Structure 1
Amino acid sequence: MILEIRTYRLKPGTVDEFVRVMREEAAPLLARSGIRVVAAGASLAREDGHEEAYLIRAFPTLAVRDEQETAFYGSDAWRDGPRQAILAPIESYHTVVLETADEAAEVLRRS
């Protein structure tokens, strides 16, 4: 299984609304598009006083990840939906993609 971990550095004062939109709007939209959201939330620590958040997603293969992300981010549902509310507070983001056992996603989801 492919696990993708995204971290977001956010503008001050935006983390609560960012996480709300991620969990209540973006994650369900991702799921309807076939993308498995493992977890999303706010970081427990602040880096240099910045608020941060994360999104963890799981894919069966890298090729499926590429196909699903291209389809999702090109969709009207994303562009006309939570896109602006998600992008506006982001100062920067970083993505790490790794291969792991299928059970790892379940453990992270329960955490």
Structure 2
Amino acid sequence: MAQVVEILQYRLRAGSGERFHHIMQQYSVPLHQASGLVVLDHGISLHDPDSYYLLRLFDGMAEMEQVLQHFYQSQAWLKGPRAEIVGLIEESHRVVLPYQSGHYR
């Protein structure tokens, strides 16, 4: 089974990068981890304080879709940080790449 890494890039509302990062660190990433998701990295982009990235690792495409569906339908997400996180995002992009031995192919 080939692992995959999902890269999410967010363009945030002007001036909200620090708030978004706080929510990610305090609520979203711990919720991801408690749900069994592997967060490789997350943070504010070096080029823009209102751009953000999130990298997650999965054991293949099918597992990724199943785990994410379960996560995003959970009450912990829906009643937790979802509304505030979504409210700060202007635009998002998703890329999924093969992952092997700690690097992308």
TM-score by length of 1: 0.87
Post-superposition CA distance 1:51-86 (Å, at most 9, x none): 200000000111110000000000000000000121
**Gaps in structure 1 of 5+ consecutive residues:** 106-111
| Amino acid aligned to 1:42 | I
Which stretches of structure 1, 4 residues or more, deviate above 4 A after TM superposition? Answer: none
Compute the displacement of 1:25 (Å).
0.6
Task: Answer yes or no: is 1:71 the counterpart of 2:70.
Answer: yes
For these two proteins, the number of residue pairs brought into alignment is 102
In the alignment, which residue of structure 1 is the partner of 2:79? 80
In the alignment, which residue of structure 2 is the partner of 1:25? 27
Compute the displacement of 1:100 (Å).
1.6
Percent same amino acid among aligned pairs?
35
Question: Counterparts of 1:68 and 1:8 in 2: how far apart (Å)?
Answer: 21
Question: Counterparts of 1:62 and 1:24 in 2: how far apart (Å)?
Answer: 28
CA RMSD of aligned residues (A): 1.4
TM-score by length of 2: 0.92
Q: What secondary structure sits across from 2:15 in the alignment?
A: coil
Question: Counterparts of 1:66 and 1:9 in 2: how far apart (Å)?
Answer: 23
- Give 1 or 2: higher strand fraction: 2
In the alignment, which residue of structure 2 is the partner of 1:9? 11
